[in-house]
Structure 1
Amino acid sequence: MKQRSQAERDAITVEICYALFSAVFAAAVVFAALVGPTLAFAVPYVVERGLLVVGAAASALVFAWRVTTVLWRFSRRTDQPSRPDQPSQPGRTNPDS
């Protein structure tokens, strides 16, 4: 198992925090969009409870989907080998030359 550098560990921490915060925001928007009309309009109790259950389920799915996609994209991006930024010899434009 390869030891990770401090920069790699910091990048992973930042990406996890970004995934969690953006997922919480997306889930809150979905929940508010589904449950919000019950606060603005007089709806029957059954409809209110139904929207509450649907809103909670939909926001949980959105949360899980957002965290998964952000972290999966990050892992795919870091798994690719990095190419050198500079050519290996001065005056050459292609690192493989």
Structure 2
Amino acid sequence: MTRHGGRRSQAERDAVTVEIGYALCSAAFAAAVVLGAVAGPALLFELPGTFETVLLRTGMTLATVLFAVRTVAVLVRFRRAAQPSQPGRTNPDS
């Protein structure tokens, strides 16, 4: 349902689908980069057991948290974005 109680148009549903895809892909990329940066040395080099375990667990934890935060942030920003009042028109300030 839209804010006015009507059904969403196909364009609105498509925009939501694209935004969800973008949120998931960008979150997965950011999480992979963080995981590689933090846990990468433990995977590439032979480190002492405890240090290797700490790096791997820290990397996995940070990647998981970053994935969730990035996904939520993108979707909240999309929801709050001011949409033009008429299709095909932009705000005068843009």
What TM-score results when the alignment is normalised by the length of structure 1? 0.79
**Alignment correspondent of 1:41:** 45
Computing the radius of gyration over CA atoms, which structure comes out larger, 1 or 2? 1
Q: How does 1:1-97 map to 2 (within 5 A)?
A: 1-77=5-81, 80=82, 82-84=84-86, 85=89
Corresponding residue pairs, total: 85
Alpha-carbon deviations, 1:50-88, whole Å to 9, x = none?
1111011100111011101100110001xx463454xxx
Question: RMSD value over aligned CA atoms?
Answer: 1.9
* Identical counterparts, % of pairs: 49
Alpha-carbon deviations, 1:32-59, whole Å to 9, x = none?
0001111333210111111111011100
**Alignment correspondent of 1:90:** none
What TM-score results when the alignment is normalised by the length of structure 2? 0.81
In the alignment, the residues of structure 1 paired with residue 49 and residue 35 of structure 2 have an alpha-carbon distance, to the nearest angstrom, of 18
What residue ranges of structure 1 are gaps of 5+ in the alignment? 86-93
